[in-house]
A and B are shown apart, each in its own frame.
Chain A
Amino acid sequence: MLDALQTILDTTITTIRDVLPIAAIIFGFQLFVIRRPIPHLKRVLAGFAYVLIGLSLFLIGLEEALFPLGKLMAEQLTDPAFILGDGVSRVLQWSDYWWVYLFAFAIGFSTTVAEPSLIAVAIKAQEVSGGAISVLGLRSAVAIGVAIGIALGTFRIVTGTPLHYYIIAGYIVVIIQTIYAPKMIIALAYDSGGVTTSTVTVPLVTALGLGLASTVPGRSPMLDGFGLIAFASLFPIMSVMGYAQLSQWMARRAMRRENPGE
């Protein structure tokens, strides 16, 4: 019990320290540059308090329950003893790791759905687009992108191909998609690359990458353990633009069916 209280206290202090510079900048500029009272000050302050307490509880919960188990699983799944299964020792092929790829996909998807900053951007996008982009639709599109990205990232660690080949190829796809995607989605798609990787995703994904890089023969955790985050920030850009392109295409097709004369 005392331990639990101690963690709550520690986490709250850390969160306050994160929020403090932001609050100082906001209130400093409001006071000295804008020089106008903040509208609904009480409500805004209450909102800040909610964010602070909410984020602390969220982090404590993750730290207590989900992270230890998730990290343990990442270690167990990448353990050669588990991968061999039958106990016969032989040289591992990239195709032996399919539980790892599946885990990477599933954990990428599920952690992204719970990512608070993505929820924030999705709420804003729904508001601004007048409902054309739904909160759940955007979040699912981003989560699928992260899932594919992390799965491919683990495949890269297993095979040991250089990171920058994938990133450069990804950039080329993004640029081509940018030309054809609906204009209103472009900025949002680029943004969704950056928001996916924070509180929930990073710790679990990093554990997976480091676990994999330290057990696969010939990989060093220092050189190969990194890069999963980069995959997780690149692929949602493609999936969000893809989602917009798909819905545009379906809307056009439906319209054509209704007015065959056009």
Chain B
Amino acid sequence: MQLPIPPILRPFADSVRDLLPIILVIGFFQLVVLQQPIPNMGKLLYGTVMVVLGLTLFVRGLEMGLFPIGESMAFDFARKGSVFWVLTFAFALGFGTTVAEPALIAVAAEAGKVAASGNMIENSEVARDSYATGLRYTVALSVGFAIVLGVLRILKGWPIQYFIIGGYIGVVGMTAIAPEEIIGIAYDSGGVTTSTITVPLVTALGVGLASSIKGRNPMIDGFGLIAFASLTPMIFVMGYGMVI
């Protein structure tokens, strides 16, 4: 379905289309199910305009900045041929982008409270904070490790499913022995590590590497870095819960 929209407005129309489902869902539940008026209509409208504007700019920025830089770096690394440097870069990218991730900081603080209420650590602010900080570095380390392993896989052309299945076995095995309080947090930590800026960069890096190395297929080998980055934190966090 293509509406006759002038080309300059097309990106905005796309963003509106992307947001329409949320607006419909919230409208339906508010008006029909809960049968309440929409509070603060003006604020809602202002927020929606901001979201549309923001999403449009973000997608434009992706195509101009994040994708090209990820690809050109992948290409340069492949040409340079230094496995050491590309792996160092992979680790720095994984660790550096995760350690300051706001979603992770929030989850780690939550985990500190859970651990204290479960008597795993002393219930004091110092103990909770140090638990949360330790957890944050554990997750960041695991993401760095994941990107290194993922890049190595692309370089070598190893099939991804063995790693994922191995990872699943790791998760299930750890679940059996890890303290019960940590399991929910560990499972959720896999989802929070990959931020909106990291994902496009890491994807462009993987696809770029797979396209510039002979014998690799960008579709089969290029993707998968995000998957690694969401799987390893689960194992590492359960491990952290057992050690502390």
- List the interface of chain A (C-beta within 8 A of B): 4, 14, 17-19, 21-22, 24-26, 29-30, 33-34, 36, 38-40, 43-66, 69-70, 73, 76-77, 82, 99, 103, 106-107, 109-111, 113-114, 116-117, 119-121, 123-125, 128-129, 163-164, 167-168, 171, 174-175, 178, 183-184, 186-188, 190-191, 193-200, 202, 222-230, 232-233
Q: B96: CB under 8 A from chain A?
A: yes
How far, in whole Å, are A128 and B117 apart by their CA atoms in the complex? 48
How far, in whole Å, are A38 and B69 apart by their CA atoms in the complex? 8
B226 and A64 form a contact (CB under 8 A): no
A14 and B102 form a contact (CB under 8 A): yes
Q: Which A residues are in CB contact (< 8 Å) with B18? A: 113-114, 119
Q: Which B residues are in CB contact (< 8 Å) with A14? A: 102
User: Distance in Å from the Cβ of B200 to the closest Cβ of chain A?
Assistant: 4
Q: Which A residues are in CB contact (< 8 Å) with B58? A: 50-51, 54-55, 58, 116
User: 8 A-B contacts, Cβ less than 8 Å apart?
Assistant: A26-B73, A52-B61, A53-B57, A55-B196, A57-B50, A168-B172, A175-B165, A187-B219
9 closest Cβ pairs, A-B complex: A47-B65, A65-B47, A50-B61, A58-B54, A54-B57, A47-B64, A61-B50, A226-B184, A57-B54
B191 and A230 form a contact (CB under 8 A): yes
A51 and B62 form a contact (CB under 8 A): yes
B227 and A190 form a contact (CB under 8 A): yes
Partner of A191, one of B68, B92, B203: B203
A120 and B200 form a contact (CB under 8 A): yes
How far, in whole Å, are A198 and B57 apart by their CA atoms in the complex? 18
B192 and A202 form a contact (CB under 8 A): yes
A21 and B29 form a contact (CB under 8 A): no
Q: DSSP class of A's interface residues: helix, strand, loop or mixed?
A: helix
Q: A47-B62, A117-B194 are in contact. Are A229 and B68 (CB under 8 A)?
A: no
- List the interface of chain B (C-beta within 8 A of A): 18-19, 21-22, 24-26, 28-30, 33-34, 36, 38-39, 43-69, 72-73, 76-77, 80, 85, 88-89, 92-93, 96-97, 99-103, 113-114, 117, 160-161, 164-165, 168, 171-172, 175, 180-181, 183-185, 187-188, 190-201, 203-204, 207, 211, 217-227, 229-230
Q: Which B residues are in CB contact (< 8 Å) with A111? A: 22
A65 and B51 form a contact (CB under 8 A): yes
Q: Which B residues are in CB contact (< 8 Å) with A19? A: 197
A184 and B219 form a contact (CB under 8 A): yes
User: Distance in Å from the Cβ of B235 to the closest Cβ of chain A?
Assistant: 13
How far, in whole Å, are A227 and B192 apart by their CA atoms in the complex? 12
User: Distance in Å from the Cβ of B75 to the closest Cβ of chain A?
Assistant: 10
User: Distance in Å from the Cβ of A67 to the closest Cβ of chain B?
Assistant: 9
User: Distance in Å from the Cβ of A160 to the closest Cβ of chain B?
Assistant: 13
User: Distance in Å from the Cβ of B74 to the closest Cβ of chain A?
Assistant: 11
A184 and B192 form a contact (CB under 8 A): no
Q: Which A residues are in CB contact (< 8 Å) with B221? A: 187
A50-B65, A226-B188 are known contacts; what are 10 more A-B pairs with Cβ within 8 Å? A47-B62, A54-B61, A65-B46, A103-B29, A116-B59, A120-B62, A125-B223, A171-B171, A198-B196, A202-B191
How far, in whole Å, are A60 and B43 apart by their CA atoms in the complex? 11
A188 and B117 form a contact (CB under 8 A): no
Partner of B34, one of A77, A107, A194: A77
Partner of B61, one of A25, A51, A62, A224: A51
User: Distance in Å from the Cβ of B228 to the closest Cβ of chain A?
Assistant: 8
Partner of B190, one of A40, A59, A129, A233: A233
User: Distance in Å from the Cβ of B76 to the closest Cβ of chain A?
Assistant: 5
Q: Which residue of B lies closest to A63 (CB)?
A: B47
User: Distance in Å from the Cβ of B234 to the closest Cβ of chain A?
Assistant: 8
B55 and A187 form a contact (CB under 8 A): no
Q: A22-B197, A121-B226, A232-B191 are in contact. Are A60 and B61 (CB under 8 A)?
A: no
Q: Which B residues are in CB contact (< 8 Å) with A39? A: 68, 72
